[in-house]
Amino acid sequence: MFRALQQLHEFATSYNLLLLLEGGARTLVLSAAGCVCGFVLGFALAVLRHTAAGWLLPARILGVVYVEMFRRIPFLVTLFLVFYAFQALGLDVPVFWVAVASTCVIGTAYLSEVVRAGFAAVPRAEWDAAATMNFSLLQTLRFVVVPQAWRVVVPPAFAFFLSFIKDSALASQIGVVELTFVGKIFNNRGLMPAIAFGSVLIAYFVISYPLARLGARLEGRLALSRAH
Amino acid sequence: MTPLLAAAGLRKSYGPLEVLRGVDVDVARGECLVVIGPSGSGKSTLLRCLNLLEPISGGRIVFQGEDIAEAGRRAPEIRRRIGMVFQNFELFRHLSALDNIALAPIRVKGEDRRAARERAQHLLAKVHLPDKSDAFPDELSGGQQQRVAIARALAMEPALMLYDEPTSALDPETVGEVLQVMQELAEEGSTSIVVTHEMGFARRAADRVVFMDAGAVAHAAPAARFFSNEAPERVARFLGKIEA
């Protein structure tokens, strides 16, 4: 116990705290990039897959292949794939940006399926009805589809966001100094695991708890919005 | 008089399956045209082609003097003048009856919000639902939902209304109220093409009746003559079966 207190005192240097903060920031950026970029691109992909025009067929097939492929490959393998893809293209990209690109790739594949399930909850004929009233595709999405798909999309989307924060730890495997990596550094420096990984645990909690609260609040609001 | 809408040699195939094999139909301003025929004869596909929900495989559709299948970029502008009522209503479930009706006028036509909602209220009264403006679709009976859907289509002030089996998904006791609204509209001079199995409605409201079979028009005649004893044998057999 005494040793722990002593180590805690040792641990609380500005250097260590800064490292922890930096690692936390990297984890946050990695997850946020995957979630935001993944949601935007995933949404676009879901829209593409819902179109019916003949000339878009090749694009739809590519979309299906993309989604089915990256949902089946472990995140770690995707990291290596992206890493070597950049190398093959002769691009010297820092590992952090390799990891960011990977989270976007994965996020897009998963979240497009989440959004697609939301679209599927709106009957095809309601899209037709909107079309007969001359809504453009964007208007149909904004006024007819999204308001109804939202409640189907939000719960699994937030579940994905939260699990994604944890998955971003794999980026440490290609050398990105994010939270998990920072924990290992502390541990290697001879700090007690309880302190080394305890601090990391708290940092993960600080990042994900507000997000979980936001998700719960949104779900609550969605449930209320129909109870007029 | 040139018809409001005329389709000539209309063809539609899904892959090798030929659903429409050269259909000729036309409807004059103020006329109520009823399309009947056995299931799978292409009636619904015909309607979906007429307002370009389905791209056609061949033939011409002239609406208000314009070939709409060729209109390309102008197609939406033309389609705005054709209203459609679906078998399963397809009301937007997240909006109240009033908002369902006012949405397109506000968002597509850019009408003033207050004016559009006021007009929506009038349309609700017209379909005999003046006190249902705040009701959501799942709080309305099928017949009420379909009448809201009719009001929603009317809100775009279409020159032509298409009804795709509007009463097929309804409980028998609510069929009458929907048909009554449709008949009132027809009597007011609104132009419509109605796909239906309701022969009573056809007798009362139709000006002309078209009988479709296997993707083509098998018989067409003014309503009175259509239901007389001179109808061809195939039509008489169908009528006998449906009215038995």
Q: What is the per-residue pLDDT across B130-176, written as a single tens digit (0 to 9) for each?
A: 999 999 999 999 999 999 999 999 999 999 999 999 999 999 889 99
Instruction: Measure Cα distances from A20 to A27, A171, B58 in Å.
Output: 11, 16, 68
B109 within some domain:
yes
What range does the domain containing A154 cover? 2-225
User: Of B117, B138, B157, which residue is a domain's last?
Assistant: B157
Indicate the number of domains in chain B.
2
Rounded to the nearest angstrom, the minimum Cα separation between A130 and chain B is: 8
Q: Does B108 sit within 8 Å of A134, measured CB to CB?
A: yes
Reduce the DSSP state of residue A130 to 3 states and report it.
Answer: helix
Q: Does A144 sit within 8 Å of B104, measured CB to CB?
A: no
Same domain for B74 and B164? Answer: yes
Same domain for B77 and B163? Answer: yes
**Chain A residues within 8 A of B149 when measuring between CB atoms:** 129
Same domain for B173 and B76? Answer: yes
Rounded to the nearest angstrom, the minimum Cα separation between A138 and chain B is: 11
Q: Does A143 sit within 8 Å of B90, measured CB to CB?
A: no
Instruction: Measure Cα distances from A36 to A31, A40, A43, A172, B181 in Å.
Output: 8, 6, 10, 21, 49
Same domain for B11 and B77? Answer: yes
Rounded to the nearest angstrom, the minimum Cα separation between A228 and chain B is: 10
Which residues of A fall below an 8 Å CB-CB distance to B? 123, 125-126, 128-136, 139, 143-144, 147-148, 226, 228
Same domain for B163 and B67? Answer: yes
Same domain for B76 and B163? Answer: yes
B220 within some domain:
yes
CATH number at A103 reads 1.10.3720.10
Same domain for B62 and B170? Answer: yes
CA distance B5 to B25: 8
User: Of B125, B157, B189, which residue is a domain's last?
Assistant: B157
Rounded to the nearest angstrom, the minimum Cα separation between A155 and chain B is: 18
Rounded to the nearest angstrom, the minimum Cα separation between B192 and chain A is: 15
User: Of B127, B157, B187, which residue is a domain's last?
Assistant: B157
Q: How many helices (H) and strands (E) does chain B have?
A: 9, 10
Same domain for B36 and B48? Answer: yes
Reduce the DSSP state of residue B24 to 3 states and report it.
Answer: strand
Indicate the number of domains in chain A.
1
B86 within some domain:
no
Tens place of pLDDT per residue across chain A (228 aa): 677 777 777 777 888 889 999 999 999 999 999 999 999 999 999 999 998 877 899 999 999 999 999 999 999 999 999 999 999 999 889 999 999 999 999 999 999 999 999 999 999 889 999 988 889 899 999 999 999 998 899 999 999 999 999 999 999 999 899 999 999 999 898 888 888 899 999 999 999 999 999 999 988 887 766 544
Annotate A26-53 with b (16+ C-beta within 10 A) or e (fewer). Answer: bbbbbbbbbbebbbebbbebbbebbeee
What range does the domain containing B137 cover? 91-157
Cβ-nearest to B108 among A128, A135, A226: A135
Same domain for B115 and B179? Answer: no
Of B90, B20, B28, the C-alpha closest to B49 is B20
Q: Does B92 sit within 8 Å of A126, measured CB to CB?
A: yes
CATH number at B237 reads 3.40.50.300
Residue A189 burial by CB count (10 A; 0-12/13-18/19+): exposed, middle or buried?
A: exposed
Cβ-nearest to A135 among B90, B104, B152: B104
Nearest CA in chain A to B103: A143
Same domain for B47 and B163? Answer: yes
- With contact defined as beta carbons under 8 Å apart, do B70 and A104 qualify? no
**Chain B residues within 8 A of A148 when measuring between CB atoms:** 92-94
Residue for token pair 């180590």: A7
- Reported as a single tens digit per residue, the pLDDT across B175-221 is 999 999 999 999 999 999 999 999 999 999 999 999 999 999 999 99
Reduce the DSSP state of residue B67 to 3 states and report it.
Answer: strand
